[in-house]
Amino acid sequence: MIASTGPYFQDAISTLISLLTLFSFLAVTVLSLVWLERKALGRLQLRLGPTRTGPFGLLQPIADAVKLVLKEDIVPNEAEKVIFWVAPIIVVISAFMLWVTIPLTPSIVVQNLENMGLFYVGAVGVIGILGLVLAGWGSANKYGVIGGLRAAAQLISYEIPLIMVFVSIAIVTQTFNLVEIVNLQSPVPFILVLPLGFVLFFVSGLAEVGRTPFDIYFAESEIVGGPFVEYSGAHWAVFFLSEYINTFAIATLTVLLFLGGWSGPFLPSIVWLLIKIYAVILLIFWIRGTLPRLRIDQLMAFAWKVMVPLSFYLVVCCSIYVFYGLPWWALTVMSIFGLGVVGVIIYQYITAPARKVAEVRERLRLLQMSQEE
Amino acid sequence: MMQDQQDNQTIDMMLNMGPQHPSTHGVFRMELRIDGEKIIDVKPHIGYLHRGSEKLSEGEQYHQIITLFDRMDYLANFNNELVYCMAVERLLDMEPSKRTEYIRVILCELNRIASHLLYVGTIGLDAGAMTPALFSFIGRDRIQTLFESISGARMMHNYFKIGGLKQEVPDDFVRMVKDIMPVIRRDIDQTEKLLTFNEIFLSRTKDIGVITAEQAIDYGLTGPCLRGSGINYDVRKSEPYSVYQDFDFDVPVGLDGDCWDRHWVRVKEMHESLRIIEQAIDKLPDGDVASPLGRRLIRPSEGEVYVKAENPRGEIGVYLVSDGTDKPYRLKVRPPSFCNLSAIQLLLQNSWVADSVVILGSLDIVLGEVDR
Amino acid sequence: MLSTVKGMIQTLSSTWRGLRKPVTKLYPENPTVLQNRFMGFPGLTWDKDIDEPFCTGCMVCIRNCPTQCMTATMKDNPKFADESSKRRKIVDEFEINLNRCILCGICVDVCNFDAIVMTHEHEESGSYRDGSRMKLDGLLEIGGKYQTQSGWKPAPKD
């Protein structure tokens, strides 16, 4: 009897160890991201960023974490206590569960789910929405309710293009195995094969993690933090943690699916992977430092009128490619064609106010000219 | 349960925005009645920053009231000091020297730029862009440092005196002003690239919060809010005060009366202010800036006067009644922010919750002036 | 779309500028550069020729203060008796509530004896409630500090 449970027991122990390793890796990553974001945004805005804590303010995230954990954890009187407590846990667990199958190299992975990998990522990623809605509802705050409902609308809408991109990649590669997908990219990374897929994935990824210009569900200047408005102390820290883990996950998936993963010359594969991930993350921070925020109706219109049709178009393209066995650049051409056509539509859509402005200014100029005469 | 099913209809939600809210520009409170994300009605509440400036003025001597005006619209201190000094000067029937007037105009226009730079930053924050705020503060900080070297204070200057200035400007005044011009130009260009013509910002502000010209006049809007609706009314042009008739400048006018037009008018106004400053610096006459009144107690003869001027926020009016003593009998201010804010109910109806902060930001209110 | 790209390039160039020369300065290491005319808390000046304060306690600043933040009393000047000083009266007690002071500089304008100046002192703090009430010796101290720092001289008599 003991002999029969032996291998399972060993398996459980090794999984536990790798989960703990994963947890500490992610915690360190989050700390580095917090520091990097504050420092990068600071320099972008001609500021210094954190400087007081350690050299270059490197210990700032640790100071933040200590402060947050030691802070009083306030639960509003009117709040649904259970929901209020459970919501952050749901969010953070879904954020962590995502990482079970994401490989950092072919060998560094908790449990490669073989042909379930991408499917699992798509499925688990949705759970976090529930936590946000519950957090908004449970905190008995109107801003929280608005934020939670916004989160539900936004995240579910953008989940569709995200999953459709997964599907098209699965069609092209004929596998859900993330390691396989990365290995198939060795001559040509998928950003060249599926540029449209990359754009779709990156944009909806930004929306999924609520990064500017899609930081609508916790918009500080409108609904003062949305679902997180009543949270403080350790609970808020948990939300914070999961937000950064999700950002890191989206960057990692972008790298794995489109940028060739860990492949690269000279350096060890894990270093290549981290370089690529941090490059994508810096891009996300750069966008945050530049753009204003969209409005909820514009965001939803963008999702359902642009992103969702485009993602279906991508799936159709990939099917045609696989069915007729075309060369890989045919998919690029189709992809760029779709990107071009819809790009023009988006351009028309998004620059309608700009064109109106130009028109108005022209009218104004003519008016002034006539006045001068 | 049965009851729930029977009247299964939605009801409006009351959302209390402010006074502790990051985007109400101070302690302004709005009671929003919302249906989903649509605003049905709004009930503004003001008065959280009421300090009784008008009543306090009745107990202060004429030269002390300048400090109260500094604190009324705390982003345009020089402009406020100017309108009060003009009012008392008209009561006393005196004219300050030309040099005084020119220096006053230069400082007022610099202050207008500083105020509009702050506006550009805050509308960016309201729309969700954090970088323009920090960029525009670079120029604003330079302007305030200039103010500090002239008047000794960065915000509450108390530099304009009745009939003159507190003291002569520093020797390198002209050089300092010329030095900060390129900095301000660069800041305005940066904000134009980052915000004014940014597509997302355009889609957030164009055709949002529209007020037509007729409505704008009915509500008594002035300043950029009125000019954004297409009415060419600027006190500096229509009834020139101080020495504004000496300068060549345009009054930028919008067409649609939406948030973006108000924004654009302000950005253009900064360029026009720079033009005025350049001309004034070139023409700066020599002379004495000290007040002919000296340290004498100011005791105007009985009478009343109404003086108006163009503040960064609109037309400010001061109604001053003197009963012949050293303190005014009555002082009434027509604050531009307060009148502009009165249109909030009209502007917010049928807009989105997210737009409410942008619309409020585009009105550019200062609560210190609304509540006085 | 074009303007968004322009904005991205703008922020990229500003990042480069920020990496080389950020605008922000660390505060205590690089103290704020005060302009010559900076108006900090008011202080009383010291007449070094006669070794007594300029202030006679004439109350003109107190009457002109918009916030009534000061009080003063005067006494007979002992140095006037032995004819080492021309001042018949001299300040006995002087107190400024720095919490009420709005740094407007009116007291300096109205003073007939150049006895009060706006010093460069602006980093005062206290840990008890009455700490903001500055008495005569404190005022003379910050005034004297300002005198030596800026080479302040009383205005020449007409």
Q: C5 vs chain A: nearest CA distance in angstroms?
A: 10
pLDDT of residue A2: 46
Place of tokens 């810096």: A282
In a domain, B8, yes or no: no
Q: Is B207 on the interface with A (CB under 8 A)?
A: yes
Contact B211, B219 (CB under 8 A): yes
In a domain, B14, yes or no: no
CB atoms within 10 A of CB A28: 11
pLDDT of residue C157: 61
**Tokens read off for A149:** 């409902």
Pair (A63, A93) in one structural domain: no
Three state DSSP letters for chain B: CHHHHHCCCCCCEEEEECCCCCCCCCCCEEEEEEECCEEEEEEEECCCCCCCHHHHHCCCCCCCHHHHHHCCCCCCHHHHHHHHHHHHHHHHCCCCCHHHHHHHHHHHHHHHHHHHHHHHHHHHHHHCCCHHHHHHHHHHHHHHHHHHHHHCCCCCCCCEECCEECCCCCCCHHHHHHHHHHHHHHHHHHHHHHHHCCHHHHHHHCCCCCCCHHHHHHHCCCCHHHHHCCCCCCHHHHCCCCCHHHCCCCCCCCCCCCHHHHHHHHHHHHHHHHHHHHHHHHHCCCCCCCCCCCCCCCCCCCEEEEEEEEECCEEEEEEEEECCCCCEEEEEEECHHHHHHCCHHHHHCCCEHHHHHHHHHHHCCCHHHHHC
Is B265 a member of any domain? yes
> Is residue A15 assigned to a domain?
no
A274 and A263, same domain (yes or no):
yes
Chain B residue numbers touching A289 (CB-CB < 8 A): 130-131
Size (chain A), residues: 373
Establish if A48 touches chain B: CB-CB under 8 angstroms. no
Give, for C53, the enclosing helix (H) or strand (E).
strand C52-53
- Can you give the CATH number for the domain in which B285 is found? 1.10.645.10
* Same-domain check for residues A283 and A228: yes
Chain C residue with Cα closest to B145:
C35
- Decide if A292 and B124 are in contact by the 8 Å CB cutoff: yes
Cα dihedral A102, A105, A108, A111 sign: positive
**Of the options 3.30.70.3270, 3.10.20.30, 2.40.10.340, 3.40.50.300, the CATH number for the domain spanning C29-150:** 3.30.70.3270
Question: From the list B67, B193, B197, which residue is nearest C104 (CB)?
Answer: B67
The stretches in chain C having pLDDT less than 70 are 1, 157-158
Alpha-carbon gap: C123 to the closest alpha carbon of chain A (Å): 21
Residue A3 has a pLDDT of: 46
pLDDT for position C100: 87
Segment 25-44 of chain B within 8 Å of chain A by CB:
37
- Write the ipTM: 0.85
Q: Which of B130, B193, B198 to mutate to test the interface with C (most CBs of C within 10 A)?
A: B193
Size of interface A-B (CB pairs under 8 A): 111
Domain housing B79: 53-346+355-371
**What sign for the dihedral angle of Cα C149, C150, C156, C157?**
negative
Chain C: touching chains (3 or more CB pairs < 8 Å): A, B
Q: Please give, one letter per residue, the 3-state secondary structure of chain A.
A: CHHHHHHHHHHHHHHHHHHHHHHHHHHHHHHHHHHHHHHHHHHHCCCCCCCCCCHHHCCHHHHHHHHHHHCCCCCCCCCCHHHHHHHHHHHHHHHHHHHHCCCCCCCCCCCCCHHHHHHHHHHHCCHHHHHHHHHHHHCCCHHHHHHHHHHHHHHHHHHHHHHHHHHHHHHHHCCCCHHHHHHHCCCCCHHHHCHHHHHHHHHHHHHHCCCCCCCCCCCHHHHCCHHHCCCCHHHHHHHHHHHHHHHHHHHHHHHHHHCCCCCCCCCCHHHHHHHHHHHHHHHHHHHHHHCCCCCHHHHHHHHHHHHHHHHHHHHHHHHHHHHHCCCHHHHHHHHHHHHHHHHHHHHHHHCHHHHHHHHHHHHHHHHHHHHHC
Show me where the domains of chain C are located: 29-150
In three state form, how does the secondary structure of B216-229 look?
HHHHCCCCHHHHHC
Work out the minimum CA distance from A233 to partner chain B, whole angstroms: 20
Same domain, A253 and A243: yes
B308 beta partners: B317
Which distant-in-sequence residues (6+ apart) come within 8 Å of B154 by Cβ?
B144, B145, B147, B148
Phi-psi region of B95 (alpha: psi -120 to 50; beta: other; left: phi over 0): beta
Q: Give B-chain residues touching C23 at CB under 8 angstroms.
A: 138
**A248 and A282 Cβ atoms separated by less than 8 Å:** no
Q: Is residue A299 part of a domain?
A: yes
Token pair belonging to A92 = 């953070």
Chain A positions in Cβ-Cβ contact with residue C20 (cut-off 8 Å): none
Q: Inter-chain contact B199–A354, Cβ cutoff 8 Å? A: yes
Q: Between chains, do B67 and C1 touch, taking CB under 8 Å as contact?
A: no
Q: Is A40 on the interface with C (CB under 8 A)?
A: yes
Distances (CA, A) of A271 to A247, A277, B224: 19, 10, 55
Residues C23, A287: C-beta atoms closer than 8 Å: no
* A74 contact C CB<8A: no
Nearest to A292 among B200, B260, B261 (CB): B200
- Say if B93 is an interface residue toward chain A (CB within 8 Å): no
* Chain C residues inside the 8 Å CB shell of B166: 105, 109
pLDDT in tens, B41-52: 888 888 888 888
Q: How many domains does chain B have?
A: 1
B352 at the A interface (CB within 8 A)? yes
**Residues in chain B, pLDDT under 50:** none
Residue A13 lies in a domain: no
Mutate to test the interface with A, among C3, C24, C26, C30 (most CBs of A within 10 A): C24
pLDDT at position A1 is 39
Q: Which residue of C has its CA nearest to A39?
A: C19
Residues of B in contact with A224 (CB under 8 A): 21-22
CB atoms under 10 Å from CB of A72, counted, come to 7
Assigned domain for B24 exists:
no
Smallest CA-to-CA distance from B17 within B30, B27, B28 is with B30
Rounded Cα distance between A181 and A168, Å, is 12
Q: How far is CA A182 from CA A179, A215, A258, A261, A271, in A?
A: 5, 30, 8, 6, 15
- Residues on chain A touching C23 (C-beta within 8 angstroms): 46-47
**A172 and A93 both lie in a single domain:** yes
Question: Which member of A41, A47, A353 has the closest CB to residue B202?
Answer: A353
Structure tokens at C69: 């933040």
pLDDT tens, residue order, chain A (373 aa): 344 455 667 777 877 887 888 888 888 888 888 898 888 888 888 888 888 888 888 888 888 888 888 888 888 888 888 888 888 888 888 888 888 888 877 776 767 777 777 888 888 888 888 888 888 888 888 888 888 888 888 888 888 888 888 888 888 888 888 888 888 887 778 787 788 888 888 888 888 888 878 888 887 778 888 888 888 888 888 888 888 888 898 898 888 888 887 877 777 778 888 888 899 999 998 888 888 888 888 888 888 888 888 888 888 888 888 888 777 777 777 777 777 777 777 667 666 666 666 676 676 677 777 776 6
- Tell me which residue in C7, C35, C109 faces B198 most closely, judged by beta carbons: C7
Q: Are residues A103 and A63 part of one domain?
A: no
Q: Given this model, what pLDDT does residue B319 score?
A: 92
Q: For chain C, how many residues are written?
A: 158
Whether residues A100 and A228 share a domain: the answer is yes
The structural domain count of chain A equals 2
Number of CB atoms found within 10 A of residue A311's CB: 23
* Chain C interface test: which of A37, A38, A46 (most C C-beta within 10 Å): A46
Whether A221 and A311 map to the same domain: the answer is yes
> Who among B150, B197, B295 is closest to C3 (CB)?
B197
* Interface mutation vs chain A, best among B29, B38, B131, most A CBs within 10 Å: B131
Q: Which residues, numbered 250 to 309 in chain B, qualify as contacts with chain A under a Cβ-Cβ cut-off of 8 Å?
A: 253-256, 260-261, 264
Distance, CA of B119 to CA of B96 (rounded, Å): 32
**Residue A297, amino acid:** D
Same domain, A164 and A282: yes
Contacts of C22 in chain A (CB under 8 A): 42-43, 46-48
C22: nearest CB among A46, A291, A354: A46
Please tell me if residue B201 touches chain A, with a CB cutoff of 8 Å.
yes
Q: Closest-CA residue in chain A for C22?
A: A46
Instruction: Show the domain range for A45.
Output: 25-70
